[in-house]
């Protein structure tokens, strides 16, 4: 920044994400003076009319030390009263350098032991088992000699998960997030490739079923608000078209037990696998941050970002009115990518259905119905959503020009050629630009 724009009440990291932008917009609409940090040049956040002050920052994932230094300088320079980390990587770094951050400002995150027990999957799953929360069977591998025993215990497929984020230096680091070993040969191959240093990831049985998400706000372990959302359409497992529903009693019971044991403060997002007959439930994890679809919660009447602001800065507990059950929200760009991936032979966006390509197109268009709220588009701040779509449309046009080619028929000569149409995988992250951006 080249000029002094004064001070800000709140700093929000990672405004290049949907969650970060939703949190910053919510606070700004309440009249809170917000400074957003964004690690991607050209991100939709830079085009927001509501979020008027955005700084280009280093990436918490790719440049952790630079991110910490930059954020501390911004907090000091603009006399930030409350900092809100958005991503797992930002949470980890705020926790690792907690003393430095808390010497300058309040930080909206749980206490150290609670946060560590959520971020370290081994610790978190051990706690869940002790509390009687149903989890997928696990095996603690300490020697290659135990592989036959592990196979007998877990069966195939066996799931390999890293115990934490690579930014976290307190847990073993792995180059993968999750792997699925279908047989002994594949299992031993994964172990040879990723465990040569003698440290092992989590090994679990394969849990199947629908993913259920319970979104909570807690104060000192007391859950003050909790709702569930149903993913009607998905992109690579993540919900892109969702409906707010009442939390299932059993899942709410497990969420309350876990957050009470942790004496949790603030937002938390708990994931479960539930089979179709609801005969079995498997706990997945607790995420101590805002969920990507938090804008859907705000649309339904529960303003989690403003609750966080009031609780961590002013000590006020939320007293929420009933949420609007049945409220629909859609990340329309993600919905479009899911549609295109299906047209290319990928997964069906609406799980449990068997639609034609025309039917999936009609399903996608249903996301624009008047009763469906958008994660990105807002009438009082339309440009970020327009910019997100515009970038994808330009890239798609280039792919269409490149991939719509006439290929010779493999059969007899003289036969008419066929039109071979294909689309490349659409990446969610926009390409970096050469320019630099400062506070608008």
Tens of pLDDT along the chain (440 residues)?
A: 434 568 999 999 999 999 999 999 999 999 999 999 999 988 999 999 999 999 999 999 999 999 999 999 999 999 999 999 999 999 999 999 999 999 999 999 999 999 999 999 999 999 999 999 999 999 999 999 999 999 999 999 999 999 988 888 788 888 888 999 999 999 999 999 999 888 999 999 998 888 889 999 999 999 999 999 989 999 987 899 999 999 999 999 999 999 999 999 999 999 998 887 777 899 999 999 999 999 999 999 999 999 999 999 999 999 999 999 999 999 999 999 899 888 888 889 987 788 999 999 999 999 999 999 999 999 999 999 998 877 777 665 654 444 444 334 444 433 332 222 333 333 333 333 333 334 44
| Cα–Cα distance, 64 to 89 (Å, whole number) | 8
| 155 HSE (CA, 13 A, CB side) | 5
pTM over 0.75: yes
**Where does 146-230 have alpha helices with state H?**
147-154, 184-194
Q: Which of 258, 247, 226, 269 is nearest to 19 (CA)?
A: 269
Q: Which of 278, 280, 303 is nearest to 217 (CA)?
A: 303
CA distances from 29 to 12, 24, 51, 100 (A): 14, 9, 9, 30
| Cα–Cα distance, 65 to 55 (Å, whole number) | 17
Tell whether the torsion through CA atoms of 393, 396, 402 and 407 is positive or negative. Answer: negative
CB atoms within 10 A of CB 249: 8
CA geometry: angle 304, 227, 256, nearest 5 deg: 95
């Amino acid at each position: 920044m080249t000029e002094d724009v004064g001070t800000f009440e709140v700093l929000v990291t990672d405004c290049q994400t949907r969650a970060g932008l939703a949190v910053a917009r919510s606070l700004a609409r309440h009249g809170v003076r917000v400074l957003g940090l964004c690690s991607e040049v050209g991100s939709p956040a830079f085009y927001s009319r509501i979020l008027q002050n955005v700084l280009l920052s280093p990436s918490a994932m790719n440049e952790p030390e630079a991110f910490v230094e930059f954020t501390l300088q911004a907090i000091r320079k603009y006399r930030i009263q409350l900092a809100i980390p958005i991503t797992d990587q930002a949470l980890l770094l705020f926790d690792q350098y907690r003393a430095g951050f808390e010497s300058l400002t309040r930080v909206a995150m749980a206490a150290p032991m609670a946060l560590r027990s959520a971020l370290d999957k081994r610790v978190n799953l051990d706690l869940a088992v002790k509390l009687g929360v149903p989890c997928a069977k696990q095996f603690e591998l300490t020697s290659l000699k135990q592989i036959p025993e592990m196979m007998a215990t877990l069966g195939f497929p066996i799931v390999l998960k890293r115990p934490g984020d690579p930014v976290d230096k307190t847990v073993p680091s792995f180059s993968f997030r999750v792997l699925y070993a279908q047989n002994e040969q594949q299992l031993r191959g994964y172990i040879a490739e990723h465990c040569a240093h003698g440290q092992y990831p989590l090994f679990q049985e394969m849990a199947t079923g629908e993913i259920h998400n319970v979104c909570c706000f807690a104060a000192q372990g007391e859950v003050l608000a909790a709702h569930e959302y149903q993913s009607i359409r998905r992109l690579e497992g993540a919900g892109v078209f969702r409906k707010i529903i009442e939390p299932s009693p059993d899942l709410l019971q497990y969420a309350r037990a876990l957050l009470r044991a942790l004496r949790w403060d603030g937002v938390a997002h708990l994931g479960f696998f539930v089979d179709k007959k609801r005969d079995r439930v498997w706990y997945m994890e607790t995420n101590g941050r805002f969920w990507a679809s938090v804008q859907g919660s705000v649309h339904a009447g529960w303003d989690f970002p403003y609750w966080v602001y009031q609780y961590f800065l002013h000590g006020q507990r939320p007293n929420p009115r009933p949420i609007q059950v049945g409220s629909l929200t859609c990340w329309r760009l993600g919905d479009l990518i899911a549609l295109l991936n299906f047209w290319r032979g990928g997964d069906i966006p609406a799980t449990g259905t068997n639609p034609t390509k025309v039917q999936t197109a009609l399903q996608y268009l249903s996301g624009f119905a008047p009763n469906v709220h958008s994660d990105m588009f807002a009438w009082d701040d339309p440009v970020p959503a327009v910019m997100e779509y515009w970038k994808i449309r330009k890239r798609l046009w280039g792919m269409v020009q490149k991939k719509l080619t006439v290929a010779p028929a493999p059969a007899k000569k003289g036969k008419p050629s066929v039109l071979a149409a294909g689309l490349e995988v659409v990446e969610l992250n926009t390409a970096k630009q050469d320019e630099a951006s400062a506070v608008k």
